[in-house]
Amino acid sequence: MSRLSLNTATTKNITLADAVTLSAEAGLTHIGLWRDRVAEAGLDKAVRLVSDAGLSVSSLCRGGFLTAPDEAGQAAALADNTQAIVEAATLGTRELIMVVGGLPAAAGLIGGTAVDPSAPGAKDVAAARHRVADRISELIPVAQEHDVRLVLEPLHPMYAADRAVLSTLGQALDLAAPFPAETVGVVVDTFHVWWDPALEASIRRAGTEGRLASYQVCDWNLPIAADALLSRGYMGDGYIDFETITRWVAATGYAGPVEVEIFNREIWESPAADVLATVKARYEALVEPHL
Amino acid sequence: MSRLSLNTATTKNITLADAVTLSAEAGLTHIGLWRDRVAEAGLDKAVRLVSDAGLSVSSLCRGGFLTAPDEAGQAAALADNTQAIVEAATLGTRELIMVVGGLPAAAGLIGGTAVDPSAPGAKDVAAARHRVADRISELIPVAQEHDVRLVLEPLHPMYAADRAVLSTLGQALDLAAPFPAETVGVVVDTFHVWWDPALEASIRRAGTEGRLASYQVCDWNLPIAADALLSRGYMGDGYIDFETITRWVAATGYAGPVEVEIFNREIWESPAADVLATVKARYEALVEPHL
């Protein structure tokens, strides 16, 4: 269990303090944090909670949302990501997971500044990707100053319009290529990338290029949930071949934590201790033997 | 309007006879057929209906579902696809759209033979792809005998588990590569491929290799519908940049029909004449100028 890390998104309805206690009592040594739980506790208290429990932070989720076409939106994104970088450093993790953002036309759907869908460029996915590259470039010195890595997360293509115009691991590596590997990495999240015909080659490339910063596991459940964001499931409940993907990740020499990050309403409504017990059992059966 | 083709899936609740009449009265010269409407009318009557109305068939949907791991399942798939090839030829179209099928573990979800998800290989996506290639290879002589093209359709990755382990246009072209271009082609359906960072290059490649057999348009709506299959929308209602993708298709020299194929409950429940009027207006505004 030395590499298993519970991501607080899996137990969304409990406080950071409770997630920390639960993880420590279960014998885990890492925890993956979302910024909402950190903000709720307060950054300084979050640091104390985690370190008093003897845990280390496997990653902070999330920075990103870098696709705003207007100057005000871009300035706001830089300010928010600078804050996220500081939070990651303060929490003692190098790994800041980045969800890069979707099309301007869909920004209103996720609480961003709504852009008229008929405005020029509002649905231009290539232009949105260029803006992501520009913002990453601007964030490099901030990340370097705080010794934090910007960890690009390719999201499943079903989120390409509203959440991330970065859809494959290969594309994430191409985006990362101009920047130092210690400053821009990538994460393999099984839910997002399992379907990709180039996955094996891209994982190998991430290893060779020294950019594999995090491995997150959860399953692809069907039918897709009414809120598509909540379709993730316990390993073994869906259709992902964890043995194969975990072997590919292990073959790169990746020796870091394995985060379990599940957005799922039914799991959120279950007692957190039961959730962690299931997570541990599934991890032990389906993931750990192949690491 | 000479290139617009109404796919009968867009007007699912009317008969083939009504869809044919509607198309002809609207001045269209093509129609895209699903096999369910053809079967309902009877093949010979379907042929007469279409030809009496002066229409030509732009494509027949669909063959495929080639991933069965067992001999009986494979024999059934070959028999069904042979029948589909004969139907396409009889209806006077060369283009048989192929949805290749998903993982054995998910076959039960779409009415196939359920496979125990814990059985060896039940979630092995690479093995499923190999079986697709094997079945395509076996179907080549049948397709050649009837002068029909097997048109591989990459489906959106959100259908990779249950409907198609073929997820990108590049992957479809790789799968087609060993076979003659007049016997194995590919279709660009905007809904399935709009998010792909390699789309421009893959469309160009499809053109260069002489495999671009069909262009289907509809939009990517959000939120994803409760039945994920029904998330398609009228062009302009979602997030796809039709100008850009249509220009890429046109740049290959593609001069064939443009099919509008929308699975959407609300559209199915609207009067078919209204649906076709909206399809025509959106096509005229958003697609035709860029062809």
ipTM score of the complex? 0.96
Residue A112 has pLDDT above 90, yes or no: no
Chain B residue with the nearest C-alpha to that of A221: B161
- What is the pLDDT confidence band of residue B110, given thresholds at 50, 70 and 90? confident
Residue B253 has pLDDT above 90, yes or no: yes
Flag if A227 and B228 touch (Cβ within 8 Å).
no
Contacts of A244 in chain B (CB under 8 A): 124, 126
Give the helix, strand, coil percentages of chain B, each rounded to 5: 50, 15, 35
Flag if A239 and B197 touch (Cβ within 8 Å).
no
- What is the pLDDT confidence band of residue A31, given thresholds at 50, 70 and 90? very high
User: Which residue carries 């080549």 as its tokens?
Assistant: B140
Show the domains of chain A with their CATH numbers.
4-216+240-290 (3.20.20.150)
| B25 Cβ contact partners less than 8 Å away, ≥ 6 residues apart | none
- What is the pLDDT confidence band of residue B41, given thresholds at 50, 70 and 90? very high
- Predicted confidence at residue B263, as pLDDT, reads 96
Contacts of B123 in chain A (CB under 8 A): 239-241
Task: Label residue B217 exposed, middle or buried (CB < 10 Å: 0-12, 13-18, 19+).
Answer: buried
Flag if A125 and B162 touch (Cβ within 8 Å).
no
Chain B residue with the nearest C-alpha to that of A165: B195
Residue A113 has pLDDT above 90, yes or no: no
Mean pLDDT of B202-217: 98
- Predicted confidence at residue B226, as pLDDT, reads 87
Measured distance CA(A59)–CA(A88) in Å, rounded? 8
**pLDDT, tens digit, for every residue of A219-254?**
999 999 989 999 999 999 999 999 999 999 999 999
Residue B112 has pLDDT above 90, yes or no: no
Flag if B158 and A194 touch (Cβ within 8 Å).
no
Contact A215, A290 (CB under 8 A): no
Flag if B129 and A197 touch (Cβ within 8 Å).
yes
Smallest Cβ–Cβ distance between A241 and the set B123, B196, B224 belongs to B123
Flag if B224 and A224 touch (Cβ within 8 Å).
yes
Measured distance CA(B124)–CA(A15) in Å, rounded? 38
Residue A271 token pair: 């007692």
Residue B111 has pLDDT above 90, yes or no: no
- Predicted confidence at residue B152, as pLDDT, reads 98
Mean pLDDT of B165-179: 98
Flag if B195 and A125 touch (Cβ within 8 Å).
yes
**Percentage of chain B surpassing pLDDT 90?**
96
Mean pLDDT of A182-195: 98
User: Which residue carries 């087609």 as its tokens?
Assistant: B176
Contact B168, B196 (CB under 8 A): yes
- What is the pLDDT confidence band of residue A194, given thresholds at 50, 70 and 90? very high
Contacts of B157 in chain A (CB under 8 A): 156-158, 195-196
Q: What's A156's DSSP letter?
A: P
Mean pLDDT of A51-59: 98
The residue of A163, A222, A234 whose CB has the most chain B CBs within 10 angstroms, and thus the best one to mutate to test that interface, is A222
Judged by average pLDDT, the poorest of A171-180, B102-111, B282-291 is B102-111
Smallest Cβ–Cβ distance between B197 and the set A161, A171, A244 belongs to A171
Strand partners, B134: none
Cis status of the peptide bond prior to B223, with omega within 30 of 0: yes
CA distance B106 to chain A (A): 7
The residue of B116, B220, B239, B247 whose CB has the most chain A CBs within 10 angstroms, and thus the best one to mutate to test that interface, is B239
- Predicted confidence at residue B177, as pLDDT, reads 98
Residue A1 has pLDDT above 90, yes or no: no
Flag if A158 and B157 touch (Cβ within 8 Å).
yes
DSSP codes of every residue in B148-211: -EEEE-PPPGGGTTTTBS--SHHHHHHHHTTS-TTTEEEEEEHHHHTT-TTHHHHHHHHHHTT-
Q: What's A125's DSSP letter?
A: H
**pLDDT, tens digit, for every residue of B16-32?**
999 999 999 999 999 99
Measured distance CA(A58)–CA(A145) in Å, rounded? 20
Mean pLDDT of B254-277: 97
Mean pLDDT of A30-44: 97
- Predicted confidence at residue A110, as pLDDT, reads 87
Contact A172, A214 (CB under 8 A): no
- Predicted confidence at residue B1, as pLDDT, reads 79
Flag if B222 and A162 touch (Cβ within 8 Å).
yes
